[in-house]
Amino acid sequence: MAKKKLSRDQKRKQKKQKRHSPHLSSDPNQRLLKRVRQHGFEQKVIRNPVGQVKMSQVLRQFVEPYWHIPDDEQGMRKLLTTALVAWNTALLPEAERSDHLRKMAEALPEETHADFYVTVSEMIKRKETYFAQYDRTIIDYELVDRGDDYHITVMSLMPGGEE
C-alpha cells in the first residue's frame, strides 16, 4: 500500500506535535543536564553564573556567519557540532590540535574529511580572532526548533573545571 502524502499544513502539525511530545521534558536545560550527567560530568551545575556571559549567546554569535547554511534541524545540529569541535580545539595548545582534529575526523565519512578540516580551521581562526576572551569549554548543547528559528541551550565548563 502506498504511503499517503501529507499536505504542508499536516507536516507542520506533525512537526509541532513532535516538538511538544509529552515524553520529552519541556525544559531543554533538564534534557541537557540529564544527557551530560550520563556522560560522567557530575560537577555542581550553576545556571547563568553571575558576572558570566551566557555561552548560548556566544555560540550563536560564533556560528552567525554559517547560520543560514543548514536547511533543516539535522543540518543545524551538524553545524553546531562542528562549531563545538572548532571551539574546543581552539582552547587546546597548538601542539595538540592536529591530533585532536584527526581523531574527530575519524568519526566522519572519509569523503567529508577535506571539508571538515577547511571548515574547522576557518572556525578556529574565527574563535581566536573574535572570541579569544572566552576560555570556557563547551561540553554539550540542546537545540530546539521553534519553527521560524532555533533556540540553543549550552552547558560549558567554567575555567578551573566547574560547570
The string of DSSP letters for 4-39 reads: PPPPHHHHHHHHHHHHT-TTS-S-HHHHHHHHHHHT
Distances (CA, A) of 98 to 12, 81, 108, 116, 144: 43, 18, 16, 13, 32
Task: Tell me the one-letter amino acid at 31.
Answer: R
Q: Model-level pTM?
A: 0.73
State the chain's mean pLDDT as an integer. Answer: 83
Q: How many residues are recorded in the chain?
A: 163
State whether residue 132 is helix, strand or coil.
Answer: coil
- Distance (Å) of CA 79 to CA 26, 63, 64, 70, 154: 24, 8, 11, 7, 14
Which of 24-33, 65-74, 80-89 comes out lowest in average pLDDT? 24-33
Question: Percent of the chain, pLDDT > 90?
Answer: 58
pLDDT computed for residue 157 by the predictor: 84
Split at pLDDT 50, 70, 90, the class of 90 is: very high
Which of residues 146 and 83 earns the better pLDDT score?
83
Query: Is the confidence at residue 88, as pLDDT, over 60?
Result: yes
Average pLDDT over residues 40-46: 58
Q: What is the pLDDT of residue 24?
A: 47
pLDDT in tens, 49-77: 777 899 999 999 999 999 999 999 999 99
Query: Which residues have CB under 8 Å from 47's CB, separation 6+?
Result: 29
* DSSP letter string, 80-101: HHHHHHHHHHHTS-HHHHHHHH
Give the residues across from 140 on adjacent strands.
Answer: 155
- The grid coordinates listed for 157 are 565548563
Which has the higher per-residue pLDDT, 32 or 82?
82
